[in-house]
Structure 1
Amino acid sequence: MTDTDHAAQPTSAPADLASSVLVLRPDDHVGVATRDLQSGTELGLAEGGTLAVRQSVPRGHKLALRPAAAGDQVRKYGQSIGRATRDIAPGDHVHTHNLGMADDERMYEVGTARTRPPVPAAPRAFDGYRRSDGRWGTRNYVGIVTSVNCSASTARLVADQFRGRALDAFPHVDGVVALTHDTGCGLVPTSEGAQITLRTLRGYADHPNIAALLVIGLGCEMLPAASVLDGLELPPDKPVRTLQIQETGGIRRTVRAAVAAIEEMLPQVDALRREPAPVSELVLGLNCGGSDGYSGITANPALGVASDLLVAHGGTSVLAETPEVFGAEHLLLRRAVSPEVAQRLLDRIAWWKTYTAAGGGTLDNNPSPGNKAGGLTTILEKSLGAVAKGGTAELTAVYEYAERVTARGFTFMDTPGYDPVSVTGLVAGGANVVVFTTGRGSVLGCKPTPSIKVATNTATYLRMSEDMDLNAGRIVDGTATVAQVGQELFDLVVEVASGRQTVSEELDLGADEFVPWQLGAVT
């Protein structure tokens, strides 16, 4: 080949920006890389010219599209995600080295963006267990609730007697689950922490997925076994037994008595059958964990679509994780049905500011190291993506941790961001299905409620396919839309509510993830 021939060879054109970077709003300062971008990569712009990548940008991280001077707000989702801590040029990798928190005043408007999803043309139903109090279960468990950590080992010994083939004769019983925890004594019974623990235990005792109940206490604890049931109006068709280890004669005798009590309950629980119920009887818990740069683009908005579909059918969805709403609370306030609902949300955020300050921290201690490795930089950015799980429906109610959820529509519960504690509160409040979105890869289960896990990106889904129920990464891949994945997820919620097992159920996960929120002094 001559020099002339070599010079005549065409050079490859730079890849289009849109093929490598998601731009969420026209006025955003940053886009999200959909593949690893090496320093020096040239990306073609739709308006002509190119954008040169100045530092390598990992997949899921932010690429600067326009300049920002030190101190300027940086926008993503059309909202501020912080302030530049140094000058940022187009093509820069935007992350913790040049973007910081900006807790600026946000404009609070109440009820200015209230919407109601259109009523569907045809009603949907699921196959559930009708309880005599009017609620519906999606599972049929025998629950062992412990009043104190001192009875935890005993409860586990009892539940272990019903593993393997022990329930083969009772095909309509989903299992015997021991709900154990680390508290119940050494605290002031009237304190906020003790009341939260008690409210959580009572929420599980009263849960529609618990068809029969055994409460095991030690006998001398500050929150005695009787307190779990006192004043609790359990449905008359739920068999209930209470045992105290000290009165029964120790661990071995308590285990024998507990096993005998459950064996008496099993035929009654097994006699129950699923029957059609309107999907308006579903209470859907919305949670995320191990989030990444795609969470607010794929799985969370898709879950928002599913939430809106459920609300449109008259059902209930419950957003949670107050520390991961901070910075996006103004968007929820615009959807509040009343000033009272809006104020309840603001009150909980104010409580969290005081609570974290007392511990020497701030709400921007979140995101976690894993979140940051996945591309999230500030709590503002994380929260803007997290609230997408709640769709667009109006906000009808705000609840404290583990409070019984009674309102229809889209609601909120005050919980920590720590996944097991958050989901425990949602289930205690009555969630009979949970959807859990994850970018880094979470393996959470939450007996007695099924947990549907949704991967935000295809790489995580393929790497952890045996732990994921749905791949929302197809949205970034360009093979599905948010609306399509949202519809799939809604359909999956109905199927799981009707008895389809999730991958966490196949692995028998969910007992160890019962983690009530612990507050207050231990004496």
Structure 2
Amino acid sequence: MPARVLKVHPADNVIVALRNLSAGERIEFDTIIYDLPYAVEAKHKFVTEDRQPGDPIIMYGVLVGKATRPIRRGEPITTFNLKHDADRYGLDRKQPYLWQPPDVSAWQERTFMGYHRADGSVGTRNYWLVVPLVFCENRNILVLKHAFERELGYAQPETYRDQVHELVSLFKAGDMNHIKKMQPFVDESQNQTLDHTNHQSNRPFKHIDGIKFLTHEMGCGGTRQDSQYLGSLLAGFINNPNVAGATVLSLGCQHLQADMIGKEIKRQNPKFNKPLLLFEQQAGTEYALMSQAVKETFLGLVEVNKLERQPAPLSALTIGLKCGGSDGFSGISANPTLGHLSDIIVTLGGKTVLAEFPELNGVEQELINRTDDTAKAQKFIDLMGGYSASAEAVGSGFDMNPSPGNIKDGLITDAIKSAGAAKKGGTAPVADVLDYAEPAITPGLSLLCTPGNDVEATTGMAGSGTNVILFTTGLGTPTGNPVCPVVKISTNTTLKNRMPDVIDFDSGPIIDGEQSIAQNADALLEYIIRLASGNEITQAERLGQDDFIPWKRGVSL
């Protein structure tokens, strides 16, 4: 029979309910009996001992909050009896850290089929990128998108347009009664194969996975700092291993000038050697601009279509680690699965990137201990401290990070959420610490300063060079990325069954006692190899979920 409760860490004074527990139930864990005065919903926690106001609550072995009123043994923690708190951190508290790498002999000789770039990186996709330097060019970007996607076979199916067409036909015929009595349209999405080979049959460019068109609201009118960060981010996207070449549209008078993007690309990657096409609207008419962009982009596509997938070691992967729509199972199932997988990739010589600094609140000291380089540890401290201070300066703070959905599903304080979120980073030493839009070039685990906001974080990771992003979720979120496949990993099987058109992989068998974390991670890595080789596409790719939101360096949690 699957376990009903779990204590995550021996030092914890809370126990997690894996199933709904009723008021008055007697729960046994480790030969100790707990009488529950109130019902405890699955994903929530009850205390193992009486707590008085100010007493600490420990989970994942760290301080996650303090009692605000008496809490009886067996009583659940809630927003009414617990407030966020976390331990202090600093270099003066740094402790020695020893790491035992996992056995990776089973993966040592494994490869994936990727696109080898001239700079030595390897892509899991072969995309052409079309981007504006300023929001004034968004319309032109969308015009190009409509023209290229339709003619080259990359447009999304017009499922909902067909539904509207049917309704319009009935309306024109005066058949309102038919419309009102119609049954809901049948969902055919799950009958569509995720093997995109069939969808490529009408494409003239067989070795190009897509043309990706970005729009944004930046580039001018804001702070110069925002424009500079946008330039670094766009340069990172163009440098991303999944991108084969790029078309860039400029108005001409904006803060982010065309020559700035070229310099930033070379600064980030001195070995840059991809087709880069720059067009400026104020040099002539819109028609001339667009016609030239169409022609030169098409010729660029002809060239990059000559690239074909070739074997590459798993060490060529750069994997982003992200969670969103988290629940009380995130830190128990899916996030530890990512952590174990991260340790495997790091041991093989690959790169993993852990983002979302507001969701590292409370586990800073552990990460500092894992950072051998003192300067990098100090950089982490400075980035965390600066980010936190900027939030507090406008009346917010990391303690306000959990969303209503997080709280409803068991993440009562930011420290609880963060301690579980940090499990995505495994146990490997921290090899590097990156500010937003800095490229991930050091093998091993890197910490990347981004908000917890799903799209701002995934945008930042792709801008730092990830070629696959693993995204755990307990509540379900459709977030995707234009250039980087985003794999949705459910923390529980109920979610997988409820949202099969969003979820790619299920870590629910861990909760159900059917798989260990290591077994789930092995199955996920097998999936990633197929994905990176082009034999799978994610649900977000199938849906055309190409989310792109640059982080303005104001406050965003």
Confirm or deny a common fold (TM above 0.5): yes
Aligned counterpart, 1:518: 552
Give the match for residue 228 of structure 1: 261
Partner Cα separation in structure 2 for residue 214 and residue 106 of structure 1 = 45
Deviations 1:229-274 (CA, angstroms, capped at 9, x unpaired):
1353376752221112222412x44333322222212221211100
C-alpha distance in 2 between matches for 1:408 and 1:267: 33
Question: Which amino acid in structure 2 is aligned with residue 262 of structure 1?
Answer: T
Match of 1:214 among 247, 260, 263: 247
The answer (yes or no) to whether the contact 1:454–1:470 under 8 Å persists in 2 is yes
Q: What CA deviation, in whole Å up to 9, does each residue of 1:383-425 have, x standing for no partner?
A: 1111110111111110100101111111111111111111111
Q: Which string of whole-angstrom CA distances, capped at 9 and with x for unpartnered residues, describes residues 172-195 of structure 1?
A: 111111111111001343x3x232
Per the alignment, residue 399 of structure 2 pairs with 364
- Specify whether residues 473 and 172 from structure 1 end up closer, same or farther in structure 2 by C-alpha distance, changes over 3 A only: same
Determine if the alignment matches structure 1 residue 160 to structure 2 residue 196: no
How many residues get paired?
A: 499
Mapped partners of 1:248, 1:443: distance in 2: 40
Query: What pairs up with 1:467-486 in 2 under 5 angstroms?
Result: 467-486=502-521
Map 1:9-20 onto structure 2 (within 5 A): 19-20=3-4
Q: Is residue 509 of structure 1 aligned with residue 542 of structure 2?
A: no
Answering whether residue 128 of structure 2 is matched by residue 142 of structure 1, we say: yes
Does structure 1 retain, via aligned residues, the 8 Å contact 2:239–2:272? no
Q: Can you list the C-alpha shifts for 1:11-34, whole angstroms capped at 9, x where unaligned?
A: xxxxx9x83211213342211111
Contact 1:184–1:197 (Cα < 8 Å) also in 2: yes
Give the Cα separation in 2 of the matches to 1:239 and 1:411: 29
Per the alignment, residue 200 of structure 1 pairs with: 233
Deviation at 1:124, TM superposition (A): 2.4
1:128-186 deviations in whole A, cap 9, x for unaligned?
A: 11111111111111101210011112112102222246241112111111111111001
1:20 counterpart letter in structure 2: R
Q: Show structure 2 runs of 5+ residues with no match.
A: 154-202
* AA aligned opposite 2:553: L
Moved more, 256-265 or 443-452: 256-265
Instruction: Name 1:93's counterpart in structure 2.
Output: 76
Tell me by how many angstroms 1:63 deviates: 1.9
* Structure 1 segments unaligned to the other structure (5+ residues): 1-15
Which AA in structure 2 matches 1:341?
K
Contact 1:294–1:457 under 8 Å retained in 2: yes
CA distance in 2 between counterparts of 1:348 and 1:45 reads 41
Task: State the partner residue of 1:29.
Answer: 13
Q: Which residue of 2 aligns with 1:456?
A: 491
Match of 2:67 in 1: 84
Match of residue 527 from structure 2: 492
Kept in 1, the 8 Å contact 2:5–2:29? The answer is: no
- Aligned-residue offset at 1:45: 4.9
Aligned partner (choices 118, 126, 142) of residue 132 of structure 1:
118
Measured after TM superposition, the shift of residue 279 of structure 1 is: 1.3
1:71 aligns with one of 21, 38, 54: 54
Aligned-partner Cα distance in 1 for 2:335–2:523: 13
Q: Secondary structure at the residue paired with 1:232?
A: helix
> What are the within-5 Å matches in structure 2 for residues 406-421 of structure 1?
406-421=441-456
Alpha-carbon offset, residue 519 of structure 1: 2.5
2: distance between equivalents of 1:84 and 1:439?
26
Offset of residue 433 of structure 1: 0.9
| In structure 1, C-alpha distance between the alignment counterparts of 2:529 and 2:520, rounded to whole Å | 14
1:237-386 alignment, distance < 5 Å? 238-250=274-286, 252-386=287-421
Q: How many Å apart are 1:111 and its aligned residue?
A: 5.7
Alignment of 1:151 onto 2:137: yes
Residues 493 and 248 of structure 1, relative CA distance in 2, 3 Å threshold: farther
C-alpha distance in 1, partners of 2:495/2:289? Answer: 45
Q: CA deviation at 1:116?
A: 5.2
Structure 2 contact 131–247 (Cα < 8 Å) conserved: yes
Separation (CA, whole Å) in 1 of partners of 2:289 and 2:134 = 15
The DSSP-based 3-state class of the residue aligned with 1:465 is coil
Contact 2:129-2:246 within 8 A present in 1 as well: yes
- Find the residue that maps to 1:411 and give its secondary structure: strand
Are the aligned partners of 2:3 and 2:513 in contact in 1 as well (CA < 8 Å)?
no
> Residue 310 of structure 1 contacts residue 490 of structure 1 at CA under 8 Å; is this kept in 2?
no
**2:235 touches 2:264 (CA, 8 Å); kept in 1?**
no
Query: Is the alpha carbon distance of 1:46 and 1:405 closer, same or farther for their aligned partners in structure 2, counting shifts above 3 Å?
Result: closer
Change (3 A) 1:379 1:185: same
Matched residue, 2:166:
none
Aligned match of 2:26: 42
Q: 1:10 aligns to what?
A: none
Structure-2 separation of matches of 1:131 and 1:302: 30
Output the CA distance in 2 between the equivalents of 1:46 and 1:520: 48
Whether the 8 Å contact between 2:63 and 2:87 is mirrored in structure 1 is: no
Q: C-alpha distance in 2, partners of 1:111/1:420?
A: 34
Secondary structure of the 2:138 match is: helix
Q: CA RMSD for the aligned pairs? A: 1.9
CA contact (8 A) 1:146 1:225 kept: no
Partner of 1:59: 42
Structure 2 CA distance for partners of 1:401 and 1:46, relative to 1, 3 Å: closer
Matches of 1:419 and 1:520, distance apart in 2: 16
Q: Distance in 2 between matches of 1:421 and 1:310?
A: 24
SS of the aligned residue for 2:27 comes to strand
- C-alpha displacement at 1:325, in angstroms? 0.5
Q: Does the 8 Å CA contact 2:265/2:272 hold for their aligned counterparts?
A: no
- In 2, the alpha carbon distance for the partners of 1:255 and 1:335 equals 51
How far apart, CA to CA, are the structure 2 residues paired with 1:46 and 1:211? 56
Structure 1 residue identity aligned to 2:134: V
Q: Structure 1 residues 236, 327: CA separation in 2 closer, same or farther (over 3 Å shift)?
A: closer
- Whether the 8 Å contact between 1:336 and 1:395 is mirrored in structure 2 is yes
Tell me which residue corresponds to 2:178.
none
Cα 1:188/1:79, change in 2 over 3 Å = closer
2:212 pairs with one of 158, 177, 181: 177
* Cα distance per residue 1:74-123 (max 9 Å; x no partner): 11122211101111112212121111112443576436224252563333
CA distance in 2, matches of 1:165, 1:51: 65
Shift of 1:369: 1.4
Instruction: Indicate whether 1:102 and 2:135 are aligned.
Output: no
**Cα gap change, 1:165/1:477 in structure 2, threshold over 3 Å: closer, same or farther?**
farther
Tell me, in whole angstroms, the C-alpha distance in 2 between the residues paired with 1:94 and 1:342.
33
- Identity among equivalent pairs (%): 36
2:122 touches 2:241 (CA, 8 Å); kept in 1?
yes
Greater mean deviation of Cα atoms: 328-337 or 220-229:
220-229
Structure 1 residues 105 and 133: alpha-carbon distance in aligned structure 2, compared to 1, 3 A threshold: closer
Q: Deviations over 1:432-490 (max 9, x none)?
A: 11101111111111121111110011111111112111111110111111111111122
Which residue of 2 is the match for residue 425 of structure 1? Answer: 460
